[in-house]
Amino acid sequence: MATNQTFRKRSHFDHPAAEVFAWHARPGALERLTPPWSGITVESRRGTIRDEGSVVVLRMPVGPMGLRWVSTHHDFVEGRSFRDEQTSGPFAAWSHTHRVEREAGGSALEDIIEYRLPLAPLSTMVAAPVVRGMLEQTFAWRHRRTREDLAAHARAALPASRIAVTGASGLVGRELAAFLGTGGHDVRPVLRRTSGAAGEIRWDPASHWIDADALEGMDAVVHLAGESIAAGRWSPESKRRILASRTEGTRLLCETLAGLARKPRVLVSASAIGFYGDRGEAVLDETSDAGEGFLADVCRQWEAATAPAREAGIRVVNLRIGVVMTPLGGALAQMLTPFRLGVGGPIGSGAQFMSWISLDDLLGAILHGIATPTLEGPVNATSPSPVTNAELTRVLGSVLHRPAFVPVPAAVLRGLLGEMADALLLASTRVLPRRLLESDFVFRDPELHGALRDMLGRAPAGAGA
């Protein structure tokens, strides 16, 4: 009869045990602990980890339909431990105990997993080393992210706050809700269609309507909503929608916030580095003038639409966001398949600068904007080390151990995408985050190679543990 195998991962934290445990027990912890390279998503949940027998259903990218992994929570002991047990999924058996203990100078986090592979003992010789390697990689990453999240929340020192988030159903909005949730904040999604869950706020920008009463008493608002600029070739109508989705929605939100009896202290409103336009090798910061072109014009009007909130005494941060790097979506996700197939390469000349930021650093910058009273007006949310497209190509190929020399000619892109190709793929924008650095923001991912290794599961298994 096959016996269970045991995996343990124990790490020291400088934070008190109560803080480490609370992070794991709050909403968003499961999402924060899911590696971005895994493709695993939370399909549904019933109850919380505090509730005996509560259920969480994950979807794993196995086969054309995916695989459901259903787990139940048991044995919750406040401040110390809880356990999840697989009821159906990829293992023959799986029981995972999360344990936090006091330790000199802080605390210890220990994950203990007892598992049995399917088809054991036949599968043990072949699959066991692979599975153990995956567990080592995954739990080193999980402990690293837990440590970095705790440090980010400690630096922000933001008291538990009620924070409304527009665009909460998008990639950044979902991840932001999880990140803020583990910090003890009450996140209120602002949605066009609500699911009926407690705390959701309804709005309909197209009809110029928002539930103002539900916004009363918010401590902060984060505005991320806006139509994608990369959904397809630009037409006059799509450009009109892109501009309207940013300016009209922003103006509606800001006029509503300005009229509240209990206004939020701060509004962090998304903008983009498209504000600067195509500027070649020029080094740009928040003091640089606006550029030319459609995106620069959109960003100017987008930021101007926040004026009613600012005039009402709300501190407004216009966060000019760079290219967000994550395998969960956006530019990097689209690049991964051709690079993994060995047909990736530079775009156009490859000399154009790309100002990027990791998703985790963007989330941290938003929290920093909420928590830092001296930050106001334009703030660049980019890494301190912008790279050329050629360098991005080389680094991504190196991290994936794939060749990266198949170029994509600019003429082909222009033929396929028209004006959008020049604005999004061929323009050169070399932006530095001067105001973040001056306000002592700490980047998790200051350089590209380390960022890609971490988010693609290529970092050493013991790194940061």
Tokens 């794993």 locate to: 60
Q: Beta-carbon neighbour count of residue 105 at 10 Å?
A: 7
Strand ranges, E, within 286-368: 315-321, 323-325, 353-354, 356-358
- Shared domain check, 39 and 10: yes
* Predicted pLDDT of residue 195: 73
Percent share of the chain, pLDDT over 90 = 89
- Shared domain check, 199 and 126: no
* Predicted pLDDT of residue 65: 78
Instruction: Give the number of domains in the chain.
Output: 2
10 Å CB burial of residue 275 (0-12, 13-18, 19+) is buried
The DSSP line for 258-288 is: HT-SS--SEEEEEEEGGGG---TT-EE-TTS
- Shared domain check, 355 and 335: yes
- Shared domain check, 199 and 127: no
- For 67, the domain range is 5-155
- Shared domain check, 400 and 307: yes
Domain boundary among 113, 130, 155: 155
Spell out, as residue ranges, where the chain has pLDDT lower than 70.
1-2, 120-125, 461-465
* Predicted pLDDT of residue 125: 65
- Shared domain check, 267 and 228: yes
463 is a domain residue: no
Q: How does strand 81-88 pair with strand 93-103?
A: antiparallel
- Shared domain check, 64 and 181: no
pLDDT tens-digit profile of 303-352? 999 999 999 999 999 999 999 999 999 999 999 999 999 999 999 999 99
pLDDT tens-digit profile of 59-106? 999 877 789 999 999 999 999 999 999 999 999 999 999 999 999 999
Runs of H (alpha helix) within 385-430:
389-400, 410-417, 419-420
d(CA 430, CA 423): 14
- Shared domain check, 172 and 143: no
* Predicted pLDDT of residue 2: 60
11 is a domain residue: yes
What is the domain-level CATH number for residue 187? Answer: 3.40.50.720
Q: Beta-carbon neighbour count of residue 290 at 10 Å?
A: 14
* Predicted pLDDT of residue 11: 97
d(CA 241, CA 231): 12
Please give the C-alpha separations between residue 118 and each of 40, 58, 123, 134, 427, in angstroms, as whole numbers: 20, 19, 7, 16, 51
CB contact at 8 A, 299 and 272: yes
* Predicted pLDDT of residue 465: 53
Domain boundary among 98, 120, 155: 155
Domain boundary among 120, 138, 155: 155
* This prediction's pTM: 0.96
Tokens 């009109």 locate to: 240
β-partners of residue 74 are 83
* Predicted pLDDT of residue 93: 95
- Shared domain check, 419 and 338: yes
